[in-house]
Amino acid sequence: MNLGPIPQAEAHRSGRSGWLRAAVLGSDDAIVSTASLMIGVAAASVSKPAILIAGIAGLVAGSMSMAVGEYVSVSAQRDSERASIALERQELADEPRAELKELAMIYMSRGLEKELAMKVAQQLSDHDRLGAHMRDELGIEKGSRARPLQAASISASSFAAFAMVPIVALLISPQPLRIPFIAFSSLASLAALGGFGGHLGGAPIGRAALRVTIGGALAMGVTALIGRLLGISVS
């Protein structure tokens, strides 16, 4: 018997849009870190190539770091899923009756009467025994198993795509307006992403957008200040 988490409506929601939320978070990260890096350099130097190189280096470093981080964490999740499934398979082979009863208990805990729960457990087991235990006992949906490579490539590419926001802003901005261009385009993108992320998570959209925008503005402000001070002291 393996008393794993019993999925609820909430878990369901995050399962379906889990990778999308990860992508949105990676995108926030991309905008804040790349824009801050570029603003820090822009505050210290007027050299467009230097700011551009900082932005591109930030894009590459961030994408790689997201890919590695995501690969490691999703691999760990996949390993634990595999271990649970192997254990479950063993238990089903060793104690099929106890496992059937366990499944029925899960349905009873969700509101079915004993007789009906037994019937449902029996029929679902006849149809796909391991599948029923995976879904209803372990909370692992077949379609949403952890995929490390997919997770790594989604977060790396969303990071790279959104790191382009401040880079493009630099390329199209006139020299005296570089910092405001980078800051405003980045904050506008953050607000849009924050609202979208809030929508996915079922949170109030305005608050989610505001939170990430204020966070981003603070990050950019701090690096601008430090860049300014370093620029003065180094030159």
**Which residues contact Zn ion (rule: CB under 5 A)?**
99, 133, 137
The secondary structure of 3-40 as a DSSP string is --PPP-HHHHHHHHHHHHHHHHHHHHHHHHHHHHHHHH
The nearest distance, CB 129 to Zn ion, in angstroms, is 9
**In the complex with Zn ion, which residue's Cβ is closer, 6 or 53?**
6
**In the complex with Zn ion, which residue's Cβ is closer, 28 or 137?**
137
**In the complex with Zn ion, which residue's Cβ is closer, 90 or 150?**
90
Residue ranges in the chain assigned as alpha helix (H): 9-44, 48-94, 96-109, 114-133, 148-172, 178-201, 205-234
The nearest distance, CB 220 to Zn ion, in angstroms, is 51
The nearest distance, CB 67 to Zn ion, in angstroms, is 35
The nearest distance, CB 43 to Zn ion, in angstroms, is 59
Longest dimension (CA), the chain: 81
Single-letter amino acid code for the residue at 164: M
What residue number has its CB nearest to Zn ion?
133
Contact 174, 34 (CB under 8 A): no
Running DSSP on this structure, what letter comes out for residue 134?
I
- Under 8 Å CB-to-CB from 69, ≥6 apart: which residues? 155
**In the complex with Zn ion, which residue's Cβ is closer, 60 or 130?**
130
> How many angstroms separate the CA atoms of 156 and 169, rounded?
21
The nearest distance, CB 111 to Zn ion, in angstroms, is 20
**In the complex with Zn ion, which residue's Cβ is closer, 133 or 178?**
133
